[in-house]
Chain A
Amino acid sequence: MTEEKFLPRRDVLCGLMATGVVAAVGNGIGKAVAADAPINAPGATPRRGGRIRVASVSSSTADTLDPAKSVLSTDYARANMIYSGLTQFDSALRAQPALAEEIHDTDRVLWTIKLRKGVQFHNGKPLTGADVAYSLMRHKNPATASKVKPIADQFQEVRATGPNEVQIRLTGANADLPAVLATSHFVIVPENTTDFRTAVGTGPYKCKEFNPGVRTVGIRNPNYWKPGKPYLDEIELVGISDESARVNALLSGDVQLVNAVDPRSIRRVVASSHHAVLETKSGLFTDLIMRQDMTPTGNPDFVLAMKYLLNRELARKALFRGYATLANDQPIPPSNPYYLADLPQRAYDPERARFHLKKAGLSGTRLVVYASPAAEGSVDMASLLQLAAAEVGLNMAVNRVPADGYWSNHWMKHPLGFGNINPRPTADLLFSTCFKSDAPWNESGWKNEQFDQLLLAARGEADEAKRKQMYGDMQVLVHEKGGVGIPVFISLIDGYDKRLRGYGSIPIGGLMGYSFADNVWLDG
């Protein structure tokens, strides 16, 4: 284990969190450049040169160089290797300036972005405002088939107002825009690009070879806009879907970095003197979904009974070998600046569960819960729940269904089932895509007017203290009334060769928040 743990630095509010400090003149994220200090190996001087091979969890013919179509961690890592965004996340998930040098806003609706000067695409074309406008607006076009269309729909207009300036007008206030722009879907491509068989970006590595389902090879971009970076000559990104094959490839020295290491394999990795694992405490969770528009799961007493039946401590220890953080039936992880630490932890309490079940008139009923390997850990969680339910006289059957097609055929379609939500960069994105009454992935079909109002108000709130208060209130609402039970936040575990330096955690995902390519070098 490396000792570097991700520490939320809530006192250093900047970037998106600090909007509205000087509202009259607008505010910005300044000119900070050293946004991405390496986390491990303090004091070591980065060395240039070398080649690494990185294995991510999946690779298929659906691999893409089109950032709008990215679906899996391999796609995100590939996008961040080749392209750059206007902003990028640092280790505390704050949006730092990248291709954007400065970002100012008026009422969090109209945003003015000053682009970094002298940035070149891999083909030598200089970066202009038109490229930015195209890259952002293409997500709204249904023909692009963008994964983030629901998010991009808030861009009312994006236009180049000068050679190095872009204005974004939103349909409503959103103080989190810089963080939205830091996700890998919104990286910048040259204007009018429609053919993504090869990729032209402004990122640290140029696309040398792209063979879907096989590998992506990037070579060092000598004209990268970060002086001195990147460090490696070449990166080969492959996908190895079988976990033990992935770990074996790391241990045999065929790859230098892997993600999604199973907690059960950690012992093997750390037993090798040349390898280590890095735990990233993330916001990833697998949750029990109780549909509020179906019976009997819509009964508030049933929901509470289920939440009391979740044995979080056991799930953390037994299912994830301790590589998880206790959750409290609300989706904001402790690493988020808006996390409400004062919310009392709900504990495993069969007596209370029995009480609420009786109140709901459901003692002795038979229920089916759907679980699938598609939702990480859900099959085991369902078994734990089944045992706990039997204790209180609830007869629960676990219906284990295959991962293939789970999301389109089972997820959110049964009264009782499991879902899985990936880390989202901001509280607003998480709440608006998964908890708002009309959200596309409102897993439990939960409708709460007060929550919706708070969410909209918080999105445009200038006063940081008030905003935090609002997000706190929303967490209380979801914790008490929401239709999902969240037992734990699952840590992301990467395994790496110890010669790989500059590696660290960015809690949006594994592989250093998918942006390892920008940061790592090879020692010796």
Chain B
Amino acid sequence: MTTLIARRIGIAALTLLLVSAVVFSITAVLPGDAAQAALGQSATPEMIAALRAQMGLDQPAYLRYLHWLGGLLSGNLGQSLSNNTPVGELIGLRLPKSLLLAGTAAALSVPVALSIGILSAIYRGSRLDRVLSTATLAMVAVPEFLVATVAVLIFAVKLHWLSALSYVPDAPGIVPMLRAYAMPVMTLSFVVVAQMARMTRAAVIDQMSQPYVEMAILKGASPARIVLRHALPNAAGPVANAVALSLSYLLGGAIIVETIFNYPGIASLMVDAVTNRDMPLLQACAMIFCCAYLILVLLADVFAIISSPKLRRR
């Protein structure tokens, strides 16, 4: 088991390296560079040349990449090109906010999604299952910008219950916090709950068609006992993977929610980095998303290994 996990970590590190190279070369292909982006419409050739030299963009691309990689290995993420502050500092301001949002949404959505998925698996084919299935399908189908916009129009603009902007750090306390976070968390949960619930239901139902479940039924076990005691432990691996995929989305895929609620998270930081052609910042964000994804998938794998006696003994 340890070697299995060690190998996973090795592959993860390699993936990170490849991703950084790919992100770097794609940005290099994008039209324009940080100097042009910073000067915008009013750039003159002399001004661009001066700024390029200042930003170190006059060096060849591979040198810049190696330089960045060297910095990363020594723990230095470099300087942001567009605002001349250390990338670590910028990320340090945003990452906790993204983690808070993602964490709250996860804490809310995982139990809800698992309950919905398991309930509909237990009562497969019943009216409850059909209602839950239709509801989750509808939730998957509605794009989150629509959910967010409609929520803002109703709760912020019409009813004035909640805040249309989610960044309210001036008033600590439960009520302002709830007012600020209710809608973004709700919108994010809306999408991931539906996905996780459907995948959970599918994984559990898949187990339900196995011979051992048939055996349990013949023994006369109750439906709840069959699902919770027999099917669920075996479905844990696929469910954990579904949860990991959905949660990785909460960090990087939150860009629409961040835009609509003006939430200063890390996804909007990455969009800024692309717009400003801010390579060091973009690379750092890409690394964080990639890391988060790999860690979640790794955790899901480990969880699957632990929950499965077959894999555990290897």
Determine whether A45 belongs to the interface, using a CB cutoff of 8 Å to chain B.
Answer: no
User: In the complex the two chains form, is A142's CB within 8 Å of B276's CB?
Assistant: no
CB distance from A211 to the nearest CB of B (A): 6
Give 9 closest A-B pairs by Cβ, nearest first. Answer: A252-B156, A142-B50, A60-B272, A252-B164, A62-B82, A408-B36, A214-B264, A407-B41, A405-B31
**Proximity string of chain A (402-444) to chain B, C-beta cutoff 8 Å, 1 when within and 0 when not:** 0011011101000000001000000000000000000011000
User: In the complex the two chains form, is B32's CB within 8 Å of A409's CB?
Assistant: yes
Instruction: Please tell me the number of chain B residues within 8 Å of chain A, measured between CB atoms.
Output: 46
Q: Which stretch in A128-136, A172-180, A237-245, A509-517 binds the other chain?
A: A237-245
Chain A contact residues, majority secondary structure: loop
A249 touches which of B37, B38, B51, B164 (Cβ 8 Å): B164
Determine whether A44 belongs to the interface, using a CB cutoff of 8 Å to chain B.
Answer: no
User: In the complex the two chains form, is B83's CB within 8 Å of A142's CB?
Assistant: no
User: In the complex the two chains form, is A248's CB within 8 Å of B54's CB?
Assistant: no
User: In the complex the two chains form, is B272's CB within 8 Å of A62's CB?
Assistant: yes
**Proximity string of chain B (33-61) to chain A, C-beta cutoff 8 Å, 1 when within and 0 when not:** 00011111111101100110010000000
User: In the complex the two chains form, is A145's CB within 8 Å of B38's CB?
Assistant: yes
CB distance from A197 to the nearest CB of B (A): 7
Which residues of the partner chain A approach B47 to less than 8 Å between Cβ atoms? 142, 145, 149
User: In the complex the two chains form, is B259's CB within 8 Å of A61's CB?
Assistant: no
In the bound complex, CA of A474 to CA of B259 (Å): 45
User: In the complex the two chains form, is A60's CB within 8 Å of B276's CB?
Assistant: yes
User: In the complex the two chains form, is A147's CB within 8 Å of B83's CB?
Assistant: no
B156 touches which of A63, A71, A150, A248 (Cβ 8 Å): A248
CB distance from B91 to the nearest CB of A (A): 10
Which residues of the partner chain B approach A254 to less than 8 Å between Cβ atoms? 156, 163-165
CB distance from A76 to the nearest CB of B (A): 13
A408 touches which of B43, B90, B163, B273 (Cβ 8 Å): B43
In the bound complex, CA of A62 to CA of B51 (Å): 14
Determine whether B194 belongs to the interface, using a CB cutoff of 8 Å to chain A.
Answer: no
Most buried by B among A60, A62, A239, A242: A62
Determine whether B262 belongs to the interface, using a CB cutoff of 8 Å to chain A.
Answer: yes
User: In the complex the two chains form, is B50's CB within 8 Å of A143's CB?
Assistant: yes
User: In the complex the two chains form, is B164's CB within 8 Å of A248's CB?
Assistant: yes
Task: Please list the residues of chain B having a beta carbon within 8 angstroms of any beta carbon in chain A.
Answer: 30-32, 36-44, 46-47, 50-51, 54, 80, 82-83, 85, 90, 93, 149, 152-153, 156-157, 160, 163-165, 167, 259-262, 264, 268-269, 272-273, 275-276, 278, 281
Which residues of the partner chain B approach A248 to less than 8 Å between Cβ atoms? 152-153, 156-157, 164
**Proximity string of chain A (223-256) to chain B, C-beta cutoff 8 Å, 1 when within and 0 when not:** 0000000000000001111101100110111110
Which residues of the partner chain A approach B51 to less than 8 Å between Cβ atoms? 145
Which residues of the partner chain B approach A253 to less than 8 Å between Cβ atoms? 160
Task: Please list the residues of chain A having a beta carbon within 8 angstroms of any beta carbon in chain B.
Answer: 55, 60-64, 69, 71, 142-143, 145, 147, 149-150, 197, 211-215, 238-242, 244-245, 248-249, 251-255, 404-405, 407-409, 411, 420, 440-441
Most buried by A among B153, B269, B272: B272
CB distance from A300 to the nearest CB of B (A): 27
Chain B minimum-CB-distance residue to A402: B31
User: In the complex the two chains form, is B93's CB within 8 Å of A211's CB?
Assistant: yes
CB distance from B47 to the nearest CB of A (A): 6
User: In the complex the two chains form, is A214's CB within 8 Å of B276's CB?
Assistant: no
User: In the complex the two chains form, is B30's CB within 8 Å of A69's CB?
Assistant: no
Which residues of the partner chain A approach B50 to less than 8 Å between Cβ atoms? 142-143, 145
In the bound complex, CA of A143 to CA of B281 (Å): 22
Which residues of the partner chain B approach A404 to less than 8 Å between Cβ atoms? 275
14 A-B contacts (beta carbon < 8 Å) = A61-B276, A61-B281, A145-B39, A147-B39, A245-B152, A248-B157, A249-B156, A249-B262, A252-B164, A254-B163, A254-B165, A404-B275, A440-B44, A441-B42
User: In the complex the two chains form, is A213's CB within 8 Å of B259's CB?
Assistant: no
User: In the complex the two chains form, is A252's CB within 8 Å of B272's CB?
Assistant: no
User: In the complex the two chains form, is B83's CB within 8 Å of A62's CB?
Assistant: yes
User: In the complex the two chains form, is B259's CB within 8 Å of A142's CB?
Assistant: no
Chain A minimum-CB-distance residue to B263: A214
CB distance from A73 to the nearest CB of B (A): 13
Which residues of the partner chain A approach B281 to less than 8 Å between Cβ atoms? 61
A255 touches which of B43, B165, B260 (Cβ 8 Å): B165
User: In the complex the two chains form, is A147's CB within 8 Å of B42's CB?
Assistant: yes
User: In the complex the two chains form, is A405's CB within 8 Å of B38's CB?
Assistant: no
User: In the complex the two chains form, is B259's CB within 8 Å of A245's CB?
Assistant: yes
In the bound complex, CA of A254 to CA of B41 (Å): 32
In the bound complex, CA of A241 to CA of B255 (Å): 13
User: In the complex the two chains form, is A249's CB within 8 Å of B149's CB?
Assistant: no
User: In the complex the two chains form, is B93's CB within 8 Å of A150's CB?
Assistant: no
Given contacts A62-B276, A214-B167, A255-B165, 15 further A-B contacts (CB under 8 A): A62-B82, A142-B50, A145-B38, A145-B47, A150-B44, A211-B93, A214-B93, A245-B152, A245-B164, A245-B260, A248-B157, A252-B156, A254-B156, A254-B163, A420-B41
Which residues of the partner chain B approach A150 to less than 8 Å between Cβ atoms? 44
CB distance from A242 to the nearest CB of B (A): 6
In the bound complex, CA of A63 to CA of B84 (Å): 11
Most buried by B among A215, A248, A408: A408
In the bound complex, CA of A255 to CA of B157 (Å): 12
CB distance from B124 to the nearest CB of A (A): 42
User: In the complex the two chains form, is A251's CB within 8 Å of B275's CB?
Assistant: no
Chain A minimum-CB-distance residue to B161: A252
CB distance from B179 to the nearest CB of A (A): 10
Chain B minimum-CB-distance residue to A255: B165
